[in-house]
Copies of this chain bind each other. A is one copy, B any other.
Amino acid sequence: MNSISTPAISRLCALYQLLGQFEQQSCVSSAELGERLGVGAHSIRKDINFLGIAGNSGAGYDVGKLRTLIAGSLGLDAPRRVCVVGLGRLGTAILQYPLGDEFQLVAGFDSNINRLETIKTTIELFPAHQISQVIRSLNIDIAFITVPADHVQDVVERLVDGGIKGIVNFAPVCIRTKSKDVFVKQMDIAGELRIISAQISVSTAL
């Protein structure tokens, strides 16, 4: 048996979130889950198999149990500590974004010290030069980057120095880290727009 693939992890996370929308007690079939997620029922079953057996051949999956199982296997039950680097409009919007109780937003950073004073929030704010030490002292796992493109590489190095484990990057530049243990997700708004635009063009050019 091979180790779990990245797309499978993504689907299981989506599944986890979907299961939260169901009644706790009910049972649900792979067919229904697949339809809701827009993937084949086969994939659902195969993905769940990576976690070990959990289904009920007669009646489908127990919603509560499956959700717990996914959470356990994927480490979703241990709440992660998160921060935001760059408190412009997008950064402050994320700072206020309701992340639920799975994630704790514990710090915000900006290089502009005046800005730190004008933002109204209960979350602790720090100047950018303290990134490394705060990441370490507050035990932060994941960072959002919402700084201008030309500051990104600098920020990344400080985050990695502080021992960050994951980065969600909203800036329109690719991130490269020395350390291979840092997981990076690109979330470039203009970039995604471009991809969709290209898909539209290519599909209509047939």
Q: Which residues of A contact B (CB under 8 A)?
A: 3-4, 6, 9-10, 12-14, 16-18, 21, 36-38, 74-76, 78, 80, 82, 89-90, 92-94, 96-97, 99-100, 102-103, 141-142, 165-168, 172-174, 176, 181, 183, 185, 187-203, 205
Contact of A198 among B13, B188, B195 (CB under 8 A): B13
Minimum distance in angstroms from A179 CB to a CB of chain B: 12
B10–A195 CB distance below 8 A = yes
| Chain B hits for A99, CB < 8 A | 189-190, 193
Task: Decide: A196 near B187, CB < 8 A? Known: A89-B93, A172-B17.
Answer: no
A192–B168 CB distance below 8 A = yes
B75–A197 CB distance below 8 A = yes
| Chain B hits for A75, CB < 8 A | 197-198, 200-202, 205
- Identical chains bound together, number: 2
B90–A193 CB distance below 8 A = no
| Chain B hits for A21, CB < 8 A | 173
A36–B196 CB distance below 8 A = no
